[in-house]
């Protein structure tokens, strides 16, 4: 669910809750006769958005009905969705690469001229005809221009979380106790990044989270997206917006791979937008035990005062593919041959 759709989703839910209060005040009998109502208490919009995703709740896809959700409160940071760093994302839906190229031109967006920053563009989907582009240079350019803004946007979300965590770490390093609000922030981050919160020794939780809440370099993300999706032309990138080969074990939540072995239940996960695929990929690398080495390499770079580099972090992806070391070498070769390190300092425009 993208940011603009989040507002669309939250408004009718809030309106419905308001109306239910009015109706209930005029009648003792309950109105709703469906499944048990699920009560959600989330203080931050991204956590509420994550809950919506758990219920496959999309405001523009309600054929299966609206889940019976009741909010204890609205997220406290709704005002930050639009105004964070005075930037608003633009949602683009283009089925043909020429139309997408025209859209890029309207923003004066050139992959080799990023001095003015990268426009904050979110793609609903990649063009379906990327495989018809004869020039590999042109295909790569469109692919990189498509993915780079979303990688930067998703990494910026992580930076905000890391800044919150660093503030908590600073307070603890000064032997100050965390107040209730700060403990709630820590609990939310722990839940999202899949660690068990240690309330009696919060520094231990902070230390674990510092290892997980950090960016994935754009060069590595671009190389993996290109490799896993065949430059956006694979079946799963076209029908599922899945650019990173991520699986799901929830029946009906993905696309069944052709030739899936008998008895297997996994599906290739389906995403509402390309941006959702990017965000899920970053979270996967930051939480899954298979990529512990990547996170350790990144933490070592931080200790040495260096920014994470894709070439180095690729060494921590031995378990991403059954090809192991050959897969890592291929990613590193893609980073070098396409000079993807040129995007190391790319920034989003502060206005579109």
Query: Which pLDDT does position 251 carry in this prediction?
Result: 80
Q: Is the pLDDT of residue 17 over 90?
A: no
Q: Is the pLDDT of residue 329 over 80?
A: yes
Q: Is the pLDDT of residue 85 over 90?
A: no
CATH architecture of 87-352: Orthogonal Bundle (1.10)
Tokens 């609000």 correspond to 181
Task: Give the integer Cα–Cα distance in Å for 118 and 148.
Answer: 8
Q: Is the pLDDT of residue 339 over 90?
A: yes
Please answer whether residues 255 and 185 qualify as being in contact, where contact means their C-beta atoms are separated by less than 8 angstroms.
no
Domain ranges of the chain: 3-82, 87-352
- Which band of pLDDT confidence, cut at 50, 70 and 90, is reported for residue 15? very low
| pLDDT per position as a tens digit, 141-198 | 999 999 999 999 999 999 999 999 999 999 999 999 999 999 999 999 999 999 999 9
Q: Where are the beta strands (DSSP E) in the chain?
A: 38-40, 69-71, 90-92, 121-123, 247-248, 254-255, 267-269
Task: Give the integer Cα–Cα distance in Å for 38 and 18.
Answer: 17
Question: Rounded to 5 degrees, what angle do the CA atoms 120, 302, 222 make?
Answer: 40
| pLDDT per position as a tens digit, 88-110 | 577 878 889 999 999 999 999 99
Query: Which pLDDT does position 34 carry in this prediction?
Result: 42
Query: Which pLDDT does position 25 carry in this prediction?
Result: 31
- Which band of pLDDT confidence, cut at 50, 70 and 90, is reported for residue 279? very high
Task: Give the integer Cα–Cα distance in Å for 97 and 75.
Answer: 38
Task: Give the integer Cα–Cα distance in Å for 140 and 143.
Answer: 5
Please answer whether residues 153 and 120 qualify as being in contact, where contact means their C-beta atoms are separated by less than 8 angstroms.
yes
Greater confidence (47 vs 336) lies with 336
Query: Which pLDDT does position 78 carry in this prediction?
Result: 55
Q: Is the pLDDT of residue 51 over 80?
A: no
pTM for this model (two decimals):
0.75
Q: Is the pLDDT of residue 324 over 60?
A: yes
Tokens of residue 62, six digits: 């309600």
Q: What is the DSSP letter of 128?
A: T
Q: Is the pLDDT of residue 118 over 70?
A: yes
Query: Which pLDDT does position 340 carry in this prediction?
Result: 97
Q: What is the DSSP letter of 72?
A: S
Q: Is the pLDDT of residue 206 over 70?
A: yes
Q: Which residues pair with 92 in a beta bridge?
A: 123
Query: Which pLDDT does position 187 carry in this prediction?
Result: 95
């Amino acid at each position: 669910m993208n940011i603009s759709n989040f507002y669309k989703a939250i408004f009718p839910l809030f309106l419905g809750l308001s109306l239910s209060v009015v109706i209930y005040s005029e009648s003792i009998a309950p109105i709703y006769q469906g499944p048990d109502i699920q009560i959600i208490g989330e203080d931050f919009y991204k956590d509420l958005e994550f809950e919506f995703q758990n219920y496959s709740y999309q405001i523009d896809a309600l054929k299966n009905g609206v889940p019976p959700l009741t909010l204890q409160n609205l997220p406290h940071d709704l005002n930050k969705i639009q105004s964070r760093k005075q930037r608003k994302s633009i949602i683009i839906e283009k089925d043909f690469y020429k139309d997408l190229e025209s859209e890029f031109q309207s923003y004066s967006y050139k992959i080799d001229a990023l001095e003015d920053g990268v426009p904050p563009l979110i793609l609903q989907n990649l063009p379906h005809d990327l495989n018809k582009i004869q020039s590999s240079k042109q295909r790569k350019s469109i692919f990189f221009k498509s993915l780079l803004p979303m990688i930067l946007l998703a990494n910026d979300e992580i930076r905000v979380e890391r800044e919150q965590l660093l503030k908590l770490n600073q307070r603890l390093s000064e032997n100050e106790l965390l107040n209730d609000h700060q403990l709630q922030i820590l609990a939310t981050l722990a839940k999202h990044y899949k660690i068990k919160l240690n309330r009696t020794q919060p520094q231990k939780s902070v230390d674990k989270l510092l290892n997980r809440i950090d960016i994935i370099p754009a060069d590595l993300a671009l190389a993996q997206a290109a490799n896993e999706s065949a430059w956006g032309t694979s079946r799963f990138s076209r029908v599922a917006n899945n650019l990173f080969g991520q699986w799901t074990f929830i029946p009906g939540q993905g696309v069944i791979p052709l030739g899936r072995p008998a008895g297997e239940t996994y599906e290739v996960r389906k995403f509402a937008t390309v941006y959702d695929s990017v965000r899920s990929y970053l979270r996967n690398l930051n939480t899954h035990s298979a990529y512990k080495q990547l996170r350790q390499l990144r933490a070592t770079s931080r200790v040495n005062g260096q920014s994470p580099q894709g070439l180095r972090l690729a060494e921590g992806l031995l378990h991403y593919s059954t090809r192991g070391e050959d897969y890592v070498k291929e990613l590193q070769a893609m980073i070098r041959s396409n000079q993807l390190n040129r995007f190391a300092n790319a920034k989003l425009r502060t206005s579109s």
